[in-house]
Amino acid sequence: MGRFSVRSTYHLQMIRSRIGTYPESSNIGEAKRRFWKGVWHLKISNKIKAFAWKACLNIIPTRDRLWQRRVPVELGCDCCDAAVETLVHCVKECEVAQQVWAASPMAFVTDVGVGYDFYQWVIEIEKQVDEAGLGLFFALCWGLWPPSVGVVKINFDAATFADLEAVGVGVIVRESHGKVIAAMSERLPHWVDADCAEALAAASAIAFGAELGLSHIHLEGDSLSIIKAFRCEDQVLSCYGHILQGAVCTSRCFTSFCCSHVLRGGNKATHELARLAGHMLGK
Ligand SMILES: [Zn+2]
């Protein structure tokens, strides 16, 4: 005999409501296809379309998602500090978002779909607006994400370990007031020279920034040849040219990007992280 409880009723309702939202029947599959086709034809930039797609799939790197993936970030929203930074919070519930919507021709959207996730919210909005309205909706959501963190400085450094045949990479991400918002220490199983190691560290730093969903990046390292190569002041024909090429490609996803050289003394904490990677993570 099956057991029945309030909890299992709740569970059933949850399952039903999820089925209602993401059904796999062909009709709904067709509706989803039509929705995406519609989004792809909106007169908005590809950047905003890509944001809309990621947001609907819930793969935007909000702090709550980064935290779930064990990235050591602070959970609170930067704008209001009153709530955990989720996507729906940033683009709908946060006081900053509320002000933006209230001043827009779409003030009604904040009253729609209370408790919904982003995709459910979009589906409700889509029923109530025309093509231009949906374009404006996504553009405003895109503008509200990420929250106004401003320019972040990413420091990188590398350490080589001949005995371990490995490279240690250290990366520290600071917001404009200097507060550390994320850090990374990683050991790569490569035996390369110091310049190549610095190039690997720079590439890791940029990939980390992209993973964190940051927009305005100021990259800083103590290897003059790598910083020069980034600025295309030197022809990158060296052994690390292909590593930097990939990193430059990734850096194009940021809204703004610049890099500068810092003396070793100013990059000490990052250097320690790079050394730590070799010693602490050794097998
Ligand atoms: Zn907020």
Do 93 and 177 reside in the same domain of the chain? no
Ligand 1 mean position, distance from CA 210 (Å): 22
Predicted pLDDT at 283: 45
**Structural domain span for residue 231:** 151-280
Predicted pLDDT at 223: 93
- Mean pLDDT computed over 67-80: 79
Ligand 1 mean position, distance from CA 73 (Å): 16
| The domain boundary residue, chosen from 125, 144, 163 | 144
Model confidence at 236, in pLDDT bands (50, 70, 90)? low
- Mean pLDDT computed over 203-221: 90
Ligand 1 mean position, distance from CA 26 (Å): 38
Q: Please give the model's pTM, rounded to 2 decimal places.
A: 0.55
C-alpha angle with apex 98: 93 to 99, nearest 5 degrees?
A: 155
Ligand 1 mean position, distance from CA 254 (Å): 22
Segment 82-112, tens digit of pLDDT: 788 899 999 999 988 998 999 899 999 999 9
Predicted pLDDT at 219: 95
Residue type, 173: V
Ligand 1 mean position, distance from CA 63 (Å): 12
What six digits make up the tokens of 28? 């709904």
Segment 106-129, tens digit of pLDDT: 999 999 998 999 999 999 999 999
What average pLDDT is seen over the chain? 82
CATH, residue 203: 3.30.420.10
Tell me how far apart the 2 most distant CA atoms of the chain are, in Å.
76
Do 126 and 172 reside in the same domain of the chain? no
- The answer to whether residue 22 sits within a structural domain is no
- Mean pLDDT computed over 125-134: 94
Q: CB–CB of 140/171 below 8 Å?
A: no
Query: Is residue 146 reached through a cis peptide bond, with omega within 30 degrees of 0 on the bond before it?
Result: yes
Instruction: Flag whether pLDDT at 149 surpasses 80.
Output: no
Predicted pLDDT at 249: 87
Ligand 1 mean position, distance from CA 115 (Å): 16
Predicted pLDDT at 233: 57
Instruction: Flag whether pLDDT at 8 surpasses 60.
Output: no
What six digits make up the tokens of 249? 């490609």
3-state secondary structure of 191: coil
Ligand 1 mean position, distance from CA 61 (Å): 16
More confident residue, 242 or 71: 242
3-state secondary structure of 145: coil
Instruction: Flag whether pLDDT at 74 surpasses 80.
Output: no
Ligand 1 mean position, distance from CA 97 (Å): 8
Predicted pLDDT at 69: 78
Do 181 and 251 reside in the same domain of the chain? yes
| The domain boundary residue, chosen from 106, 128, 144 | 144
Ligand 1 mean position, distance from CA 101 (Å): 14
Predicted pLDDT at 7: 35
Do 136 and 156 reside in the same domain of the chain? no
Ligand 1 mean position, distance from CA 94 (Å): 4
Ligand 1 mean position, distance from CA 80 (Å): 4
Ligand 1 mean position, distance from CA 145 (Å): 11
Q: What percent of the chain has pLDDT over 90?
A: 39
| The domain boundary residue, chosen from 94, 124, 144 | 144
What is the domain count for the chain?
Answer: 2
- Mean pLDDT computed over 227-249: 79
Predicted pLDDT at 211: 85
Model confidence at 147, in pLDDT bands (50, 70, 90)? low
Do 84 and 176 reside in the same domain of the chain? no
Do 184 and 105 reside in the same domain of the chain? no
3-state secondary structure of 239: coil
- What is the residue-wise DSSP string for 92-141? IISHHHHHHHHTSTTGGGGGSSTT--HHHHHHHHHHHS-HHHHHHHHHHH
Instruction: Flag whether pLDDT at 209 surpasses 70.
Output: yes
Ligand 1 mean position, distance from CA 252 (Å): 28
Model confidence at 241, in pLDDT bands (50, 70, 90)? confident
Ligand 1 mean position, distance from CA 50 (Å): 23
Do 209 and 273 reside in the same domain of the chain? yes
More confident residue, 41 or 212: 41
Segment 12-60, tens digit of pLDDT: 333 333 333 444 456 778 888 888 999 999 999 888 898 899 899 988 8
